[in-house]
Structure 1
Amino acid sequence: MPTIKDVAKQANVSVATVSRVLSKADTVSEKNTQSVLDAVEKLNYKPNALGRYLRTAHTKTILVVVPDITNPFFSNVMKGIQTLANQREYDVLVMDAEHAHFDSMKCFDMLEQKQVDGLIMLTSRVDQNSLLELGKQHSIVLACEYLEGTTIPTVSIDNVSASRKMTEYLIDLSYTNIAHITGPLEAVLGIDRLRGFKQALQTKDIPVKTSYIQEGDFSIDSGYNVMFKLLSMEDRPDAVFAANDEMAMGAINAAKAFDLRVPEDIAVVGFDDIRMASMFTPQLTTISQPTFDIGQKSMSLLLDLLNKEPLTQSQFVLEDTLMVRDSCGHYLTSKDDTESPV
């Protein structure tokens, strides 16, 4: 296996010059830089990660904590993170917060012990006091979810506004008995989307029926089970807004088990616009989040923190889009039966 000394000999420069070229310093002449790069390619030299860390105290590795790695919503967020990380030559480690052996303190320890340079949290469902304290000393970005009153940089959409927009759209389609399958109500996403739902009803002077608000856990199974409960009521809803697409799909499957047609007998809408939303039958009306942009922006912010760049703001709210498809029944009152963003 070639060493840095072999590269220096091949390029006819000093080991220090090779080191400066590999660390992308701008103090090496163009001629020597090219000689080193040619030697690296010819010898197929791979820099030693441990040696690099000992020289620079940087691992060139970041850690991303995902709330549920099986949830397809996070795949495109991860793609946005990974794309920019690759461009900047960072490696990405992933931890699944849903794993039976996950311990948030372990990922915090990795940062404290400098096993990774920075941390992107795609969930706030961890020991929040420890997270806030860690954020004062280390490079951390929170994406998709947020914490009230934190200085940790955050990237998300406005979940309250998006949920209110979806509910108002259902009301504009003349639905009046609208139920809501919430996310976990100990989590900010579940709370915010429920808040937007209630705001829309109150703005339109529609009573909020507590029996129409049922808690799910963002899984297809919970969507199915909660929808089964809603459809077993004597006064069943005429529309259901699920707080994510997987629960909406579970709800549609439950409606089919009751021999109900969606949307002719009952409308169902979701949130997130995962890839399957436009492939499901019926195609799902949902809130589309800019998942790739969320991932890329969170990685960009983390790089700024790592490079000690001053941040002009700490909270970034990206735009969401209401995607109108068949499951809301819009075509029952409109001639336009094509998918359309609102």
Structure 2
Amino acid sequence: MSDVAKLANVSTATVSRVLSQPEKVSKDTREKVMKVIKEFNYQPHMVARQFRTKETKTILVVVPDITDAFFSEVLRGIEHMAVRNGYQVILGDAENDPKREKEYTNLLLQRQADGMVLLTARMDQQDLENISNHFPMVLACEYIDGLDVPTVSIDNISSARKATEHLIHLGHTKIAHITGPMNVVLSRDRLKGYQQAMLSHDITINPAYIQESEVSFESSYDQMMKLLALETPPTAVFVFNDEMAIGAIKAVKDSGLNVPKDVAVVGFDNLKMSSIYEPNITTIHQPKYEIGSKAMELLLKLINGETLQKKRFVLNDKLVVRESSGANNKKVTP
């Protein structure tokens, strides 16, 4: 800054005002300083700025698994909202490990970020409460009951019930569910929605029809093979997410069967691949971009010292009917 000041023949304070409060500097002086800045590609010293303002203008976002396609649109929503408000985003991949999640929170303790959006909630609740008492934090997609932190998500129980009832309305009674890992709240919620739908229609739930899977194509493939090997295999399956639904569909195909003629399949998330894969996958659409954008909006309010009157934000989901459930030419109750 002192170099710019010398070349422009002004004080360092004037250079600082041109960068932070240009309206307080005359047009001629402003143009003279900006000419030097552009000519020499001057960049403000961010560490010095942070020391002075006690702000990093940086947001930490922790993702459970960066390879999961679902999070790309959520992250885009966060990024766009952050950039529009002068913030940059740093990303941490927890790799589904609560210890890694906790390690990333050290960036907050070291004042390397102004706040955090957690897209995963597998840390100890007490640890999260301690962090939220000292730093702005928002949970998105996942949540923890009883934790007084703003959250943004859909109603996973209701949407899973909707997905299962879609299959029931098509006449299926032998409906299986391939869950995600049961240590994840979303897996438990979607299982609960499946169970509610079955019980509300007086359909007996066969325990063998519920198979827990890792969140992967390969694991879901294996669980579907187990279901098909049963003495009375299911005629339909609701799968935890779209990637896993593709694994289930491949298992059906590799067994010489047809989707949806022999086994109807419904996924979750409405990833881009679900509309491209054959057969196209019936799924639950989550407003991924909006979840990210809303989470960032709430975090900015916390950073700015605002008190949120509402802490839980539940966005709308939608059943997207495609080929894999076999409803092409049938009327289905929403």
- State yes or no: 1:261 paired with 2:254: no
Q: Between the two proteins, what is the percent identity of the paired residues?
A: 49
Shift of 1:57: 1.4
Structure 1 270/107 Cα, relative in aligned 2: closer, same or farther at 3 Å? same
SS of aligned partner of 1:304 = helix
Question: Superposition pairs for residues 199-218 of structure 1, below 5 Å?
Answer: 199-218=196-215
Query: What CA distance in whole angstroms lies between the structure 1 residues aligned with 2:132 and 2:177?
Result: 35
Residue of structure 2 in register with 1:302 after alignment: 299
Shift of 1:37: 4.6
Question: Superposition pairs for residues 151-190 of structure 1, below 5 Å?
Answer: 151-190=148-187
Which amino acid is 2:273 matched to? M
Could you give the per-residue CA deviations for residues 275-325 of structure 1, whole angstroms, max 9, x where no partner exists?
Answer: 111111100000011111111111111111111122231111111111110
- Of 222, 241, 244 in structure 2, the residue corresponding to residue 247 of structure 1 is 244
Structure 1 101/67 Cα, relative in aligned 2: closer, same or farther at 3 Å? closer
- State yes or no: 1:89 paired with 2:83: no
- Of 120, 128, 141 in structure 1, the residue corresponding to residue 138 of structure 2 is 141
Residue of structure 2 in register with 1:339 after alignment: none
Residue of structure 2 in register with 1:319 after alignment: 316
Residue of structure 1 in register with 2:227 after alignment: 230
Residue of structure 1 in register with 2:107 after alignment: 110
SS of aligned partner of 1:282 = coil
Structure 1 33/293 Cα, relative in aligned 2: closer, same or farther at 3 Å? farther
- State yes or no: 1:331 paired with 2:333: no
- State yes or no: 1:291 paired with 2:278: no
- Of 15, 19, 33 in structure 1, the residue corresponding to residue 16 of structure 2 is 19
8 Å CA contact 2:14, 2:25 repeated in 1: no
Query: What CA distance in whole angstroms lies between the structure 1 residues aligned with 2:294 and 2:26?
Result: 33
- In structure 2, the gaps of 5 or more residues are none
Shift of 1:269: 0.7
Structure 1 295/207 Cα, relative in aligned 2: closer, same or farther at 3 Å? same
Query: What CA distance in whole angstroms lies between the structure 2 residues aligned with 1:43 and 1:94?
Result: 31
Query: What CA distance in whole angstroms lies between the structure 2 residues aligned with 1:143 and 1:20?
Result: 38
8 Å CA contact 1:96, 1:102 repeated in 2: no
What is the TM-score when the length of structure 2 is the normalising length?
0.93
Shift of 1:33: 8.5
Could you give the per-residue CA deviations for residues 156-189 of structure 1, whole angstroms, max 9, x where no partner exists?
Answer: 1110111111111111111111100111111110
Residue of structure 1 in register with 2:125 after alignment: 128
- Of 188, 193, 196 in structure 2, the residue corresponding to residue 196 of structure 1 is 193
Query: What CA distance in whole angstroms lies between the structure 1 residues aligned with 2:175 and 2:223?
Result: 14
Structure 1 295/34 Cα, relative in aligned 2: closer, same or farther at 3 Å? farther
Shift of 1:10: 5.6
- In structure 1, the gaps of 5 or more residues are 337-341
Residue of structure 2 in register with 1:31 after alignment: 27
Shift of 1:141: 0.9
- State yes or no: 1:47 paired with 2:44: yes
SS of aligned partner of 2:328 = helix
Residue of structure 2 in register with 1:220 after alignment: 217
- Of 268, 272, 280 in structure 1, the residue corresponding to residue 269 of structure 2 is 272
8 Å CA contact 1:104, 1:127 repeated in 2: no
Query: What CA distance in whole angstroms lies between the structure 1 residues aligned with 2:202 and 2:267?
Result: 23
Query: What CA distance in whole angstroms lies between the structure 2 residues aligned with 1:304 and 1:10?
Result: 40
Query: What CA distance in whole angstroms lies between the structure 2 residues aligned with 1:296 and 1:119?
Result: 14
Query: What CA distance in whole angstroms lies between the structure 2 residues aligned with 1:329 and 1:30?
Result: 69
Report the aligned-residue RMSD: 2.2
How many corresponding residue pairs? 333
What is the TM-score when the length of structure 1 is the normalising length?
0.91
Query: What CA distance in whole angstroms lies between the structure 2 residues aligned with 1:204 and 1:9?
Result: 80
Shift of 1:110: 1.2
8 Å CA contact 2:7, 2:36 repeated in 1: yes
Shift of 1:9: 4.8
Shift of 1:76: 0.8
Query: What CA distance in whole angstroms lies between the structure 1 residues aligned with 2:238 and 2:291?
Result: 24
SS of aligned partner of 1:330 = coil
